[in-house]
Amino acid sequence: TEPYTLILLRHGQSEWNQLNLFTGWVDVRLTEQGKNEARRGGELLAEAGLLPDVLHTSLLSRAIQTANIALDAADRLWIPVTRSWRLNERHYGALQGKDKAQTLEEFGPEQFQLWRRSFDVPPPPLDDASEFSQVNDVRYAGIDGELPRTESLSLVIDRLLPYWDSAIVPDLQEGKTVLVTAHGNSLRGLVKHLEGISDDDIASLNIPTGIPLVYRLGADLKPLGPGEYLDPEAAAAGAAAVANQGAKH
Ligand code: DG2
């Protein structure tokens, strides 16, 4: 039943994307614009005849809202769903809740880029007493001992791949069209793995909000070609805006 079909979708604009704040594991919701992006994402799927058979989401509301809105637009609200913290956004450590433009100004472009896009430099850890900490969030009660206080992209990939292998790959191998709704950095990690992108080159890859990214995978689960955005023009503009985020305001 190859090629397998995998659809990756970053959530629509969140309240903190709009405010230009580092978000990570902080559970903010979609803005009205984000909801519109999600609806458009679902319409694009339906127009392309790419109807998901199964959904995987993170435990964060913005990804769950996006999936619900997109699947509603595609009339696929009924499909089975599995959610996992392993699809969560990269934990942004002590940067969670901080303004991106102010952080750029305070620490300079090199440190800012290292924290945002280096492969293996995590931001400083977030204090458990911080209002932006998730240590007492019941949704993570089951991940005992694994709750991060900060993560690099490398650490994200380490916690994401066991879920890819044990939960997503089996669905693909059953011939299901799989939708994964997640986040800028957790999806960068998955794309890096799929496309075999180097630790250096992944720094310049940015994922726009709300636009489905479609992969056809061979039996070896490697892409048969590059991932394709269903709206390439909007995707290019969206990715450029993400890359430029610090400079805003
Ligand atoms: C953003 C990504 O995550 O930020 O955590 O601030 O995809 O959940 O909105 P998302 C965040 P950058 O790494 O692009 O700054």
**Å from CA of 23 to ligand 1 middle:** 6
The answer, yes or no, to whether any atom of ligand 1 lies below 6 A from the CB of 185, is yes
Q: Is the domain defined by 4-247 classed in CATH 3.40.50.1240?
A: yes
Which residue spans within the chain are E strands per DSSP?
4-10, 54-57, 81-83, 178-182, 213-217, 228-229
**Do residues 98 and 22 touch, judged by C-beta distance below 8 A?**
yes
Residues making up the chain, counted from first to last: 249
The verdict on the CB of residue 116 being under 6 Å from ligand 1 is: yes
pLDDT band, residue 103 (cuts 50/70/90): very high
Predicted pLDDT at 1:
77
Q: Which residue, 60, 69, 77, is CA-closest to 33? A: 69
CA 183 to centroid of ligand 1, rounded, Å: 7
Three-class DSSP category at 195? helix
Is 91 annotated in the active site? no
Burial class (CB in 10 A: 0-12, 13-18, 19+), 93: buried
ipTM reported for the complex, 2 dp: 0.96
Domain ranges of the chain: 4-247
User: How far is residue 142 from each of residues 138, 139, 151, 172, 180, measured CA to CA in Å?
Assistant: 8, 7, 19, 26, 22
Measure the CA–CA gap between 230 and 66, rounded to whole angstroms: 16
- pLDDT for 144 equals 78
Task: Give the position, in ligand 1's atom list, of the atom nearest the Cα of 187.
Answer: 7
pLDDT surpasses 80 at 152: yes
- pLDDT for res 115: 98
CB distance 23 to ligand 1 below 6 Å: yes
In the annotation, is 56 catalytic? Answer: no
pLDDT in tens, 46-57: 999 999 999 999
